[in-house]
Amino acid sequence: MLLDGFYGLMSWVFLGLLVFSIFCFVDAVMRREDAYRAADKKTKGFWLILLGVTLAVNLLVPGFLFLRIAGLIANIVYMVDVRPALIQIGGGGGRGGFRRGSSSDGPYGPYNGGR
């Protein structure tokens, strides 16, 4: 009886880890590649591989708690360190991910009419 409750709790924990992994991976996909370099946070490919492997472990490998914990650490590092830096740079892809500029802003800054 006690073990049934424990297994039920652990299944909810693993479901939470899966949802967290999905969110981190999708958020990393939505960010611009140049924002990773500008924030000096490795590359987008690095984070996509790391978070993708974490997502695959959570989806496909039912055991291996050690791999899930390592993946959780990677997700936490992304959420606490990388994502805020990308948002601050203006990494796009999210609600606060890119800055809204003037209608005269070009790709390299505001257009001043050649003055």
Lowest mean pLDDT among 5-14, 35-44, 73-82, 102-111: 102-111
Distance from C-alpha of 25 to C-alpha of 22, rounded to nearest angstrom: 5
Phi-psi region of 49 (alpha: psi -120 to 50; beta: other; left: phi over 0): alpha
37-41 average pLDDT score:
89
18: its two tokens? 């899966």
Percent of the chain with pLDDT over 70: 77
- Containing 83, the helix (H) or strand (E) segment is helix 83-89
Tens digit of pLDDT for each residue in 51-86?
Answer: 999 999 999 987 788 898 999 999 999 999 999 999
Please report which confidence band the pLDDT of residue 96 belongs to, taking 50, 70 and 90 as the band edges.
very low
48: its two tokens? 């996509």
pLDDT at 93 over 60: no
Contact present, 72 and 24 (Cβ < 8 Å): no
Distance from C-alpha of 4 to C-alpha of 62, rounded to nearest angstrom: 18
